[in-house]
């Protein structure tokens, strides 16, 4: 069974530049890997600089580094996606967490696939539905206020920040791989104009 939220586009390994990273729960528990997310995010942003094609100028393409705001956005988004994947993965699943990005001339598309605990799905999908039916900036400020009052670790601020601060477009795909025992994966797709 599959559920899609937003304008999810299946990942294609076409003639664009792309990179795929896999994190196996067998070598080191995923929840312990969160400490290296910043390092992975830095690597991804630095790696992208090599391939970034700048904006059209005088009808010629320029090979140029990622503009600083975009590079910071890449680091932030990669880090948030990795943190969420590691934090909310089902530690009993043996499925790898997969991180991929595709570089196009005018956008970056990130895909992160991880297992998710069945009991977390309802809450997560309720947040997604709320996000799709309300103004993200309104939700962002409301979540910030609620976080200031208590320790809400499932606030969704990272996702809201991607949308509000970086104009990212986000969508999700939930796949039921197996019913007994239940194995469900979620793929988060984030598109960022550069």
Tens of pLDDT, residue by residue over 37-86, are 888 888 888 887 766 544 444 334 444 445 555 778 888 999 999 988 88
- Mean pLDDT rounded to a whole number for the chain: 81
The encoded tokens of residue 97 equal: 């967490």
Handedness of CA 145, 149, 155, 158 (dihedral sign): positive
Q: Which residues on adjacent β-strands are paired with residue 57?
A: 60
The DSSP H or E segment spanning 128 is helix 118-133
Predicted confidence at residue 60, as pLDDT, reads: 42
Phi (first) and psi of residue 105, to 5 degrees: -65, -25
Q: Bigger pLDDT: 139 or 13?
A: 139
Instruction: Give me the sheet containing 17-23, strands edge to edge.
Output: 2-5, 169-178, 183-193, 107-116, 97-103, 17-23
Q: Which position has the token pair 């809450």?
A: 123
- Mean pLDDT value of segment 100-121: 88
CATH classification code of 2-117+165-193: 3.30.565
Tens of pLDDT, residue by residue over 139-179, are 888 888 877 776 555 678 899 999 998 899 999 999 998 77
3 burial (CB, 10 Å; 0-12 / 13-18 / 19+) is middle
Distance of CA 69 to the CA centre of its chain: 18
pTM of the predicted model, to two decimals?
A: 0.84
What is the domain partition of the chain in residue ranges? 2-117+165-193
């Amino acid at each position: 069974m599959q559920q899609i939220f937003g304008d999810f586009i299946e990942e294609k390994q076409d003639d664009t530049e792309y990179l795929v990273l896999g994190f196996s729960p067998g070598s080191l528990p995923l929840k312990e890997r969160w400490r290296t997310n910043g390092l992975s995010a830095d690597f991804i942003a630095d790696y992208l600089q090599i391939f970034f094609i700048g904006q059209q100028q005088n009808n010629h393409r320029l090979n140029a580094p990622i503009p600083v705001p975009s590079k910071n956005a890449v680091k932030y988004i990669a880090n948030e996606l990795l943190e969420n994947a590691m934090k909310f993965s089902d530690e009993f699943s043996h499925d790898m967490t997969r991180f991929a990005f595709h570089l196009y001339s005018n956008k970056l598309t990130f895909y992160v696939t991880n297992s998710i605990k069945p009991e977390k799905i309802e809450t997560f999908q309720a947040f997604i539905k709320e996000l799709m039916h309300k103004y993200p900036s309104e939700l962002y400020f409301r979540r910030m206020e609620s976080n200031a009052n208590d320790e809400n670790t499932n606030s969704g601020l990272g996702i809201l920040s991607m949308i509000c601060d970086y104009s990212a477009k986000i969508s999700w795909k939930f796949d039921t791989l197996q019913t007994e025992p239940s194995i469900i994966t979620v793929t988060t797709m984030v598109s960022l104009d550069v």
